Amino acid sequence: MIKNIFIMKSSGELIFYKTYEDSFDIKLTSSFLSAIFSFVKQTLRTKELSEIEVGPFRFIFEVEKADSSELMFALFSDRTDNLVELRNQLREIKSEFLNKFDLQLLTEDFDGEVSEYQNFEKNVDEIIESKKLVSEEIQKELIEVFKELHTFSSFVISSALLTQTGRVIVSYLNSNVLSEIIRLLESRFIIGNSRIHELISLEDYGILSLVGIENFITVIQFKKNCPFETALIISKKFSNRLKKIIM
C-alpha cells in the first residue's frame, strides 16, 4: 500500500505531499529523504537515486535535473508492493507535474511559496485510481472464492492473486512469502521474462504453486506433505474459477 508521495527540492524544501496513511511525521520523513539524497551526492559521488528499503517499507525515487538544482519525486510504500507498478506510477506523477508547472520557478527562482502546488493532489488521485485492475464488486467475488479454497483442502496454507509483474490484487500470504514471490516476478519482468504459465516448487515454508491467467497469477502455498499432483489439480481448478470472474 502507498503511504505517502513527496515532491521536494534536493536542498530540502517540501513542494508537495500526499498522505494515504498517517503513520509517519511528514516533516521528519521529508528531512530524512533530503538527508539521504545529500548523502548519495556527497559521499557516493552520484546523483542517481533509485530506491531504498527500510525494514518493511520501501522508498522509490525519481529525480529531475535542472541546471544546478534538482527536483526529487519520492513514493513511500510497503516493501511487498510491486516495484515495477509503483515506478510507473511515480514516473506518471513526475511527468504530469512537470507538464503542469514551470520547473525554473521551482529551482532557480523558487521563493518558498508552495500553496499553488497543492491542487496537484487531484492529478495524483487520478493517476493512482486509474491503476485499479478490478472493481470492488469483482474483488468481493474473488474473496469468496478464496474463502472456499481455504476450507476446501487441509493442505492449503495460504493463497493470493497477483499480476504477472507482482502487483497484489488479493493476498492471504505471509508477508515474507509474498515479498519473496514479488521479488521473483520483478526480476523476471526486468530481464524480459515477464510471463509465468505454471510453476511449482518445494520451499522451506511448503509447496508453492503459481499458475498464470493472462496478465494475472494465482498463488497457493501448500503444506510440505501435500502430493505435487494434488497441488497441481487444486491450483488449476482454483485458477479456472478465478479466470471466470476476472476475464
pLDDT at residue 16 tops 80:
yes
Strands (E), 151-205: 156-163, 168-171, 198-203
pLDDT digits (tens, 9 = 90+) for 167-189: 788 999 988 898 888 878 877 77
Q: Give the end of a domain, one of 98, 129, 160.
A: 129
Q: List the domain range (segments joined by +) for residue 70.
A: 2-129
Domain count, the chain: 2
Average pLDDT, the chain: 84
The pTM (predicted TM-score) of the whole model is 0.61
Residue that is last in its domain, among 129, 160, 191: 129
- Judge whether 232 and 202 are in contact, CB under 8 Å: no
246, burial (CB in 10 Å: exposed 0-12, middle 13-18, buried 19+): middle
For cell 495460504, the residue is: 158
Same domain, 114 and 161: no
Q: 3-state class of 219 per DSSP?
A: strand
Q: Are residues 44 and 141 in the same domain?
A: no
Interatomic CA distance for residues 215 and 167, integer angstroms: 10
Taking only the tens place, the pLDDT of each residue in 227-246 is: 999 999 999 999 999 999 98
Do 181 and 217 reside in the same domain of the chain?
A: yes
Residue 105: pLDDT band with limits 50, 70, 90:
confident
User: Which of 100, 129, 158 corresponds to the end of one domain?
Assistant: 129
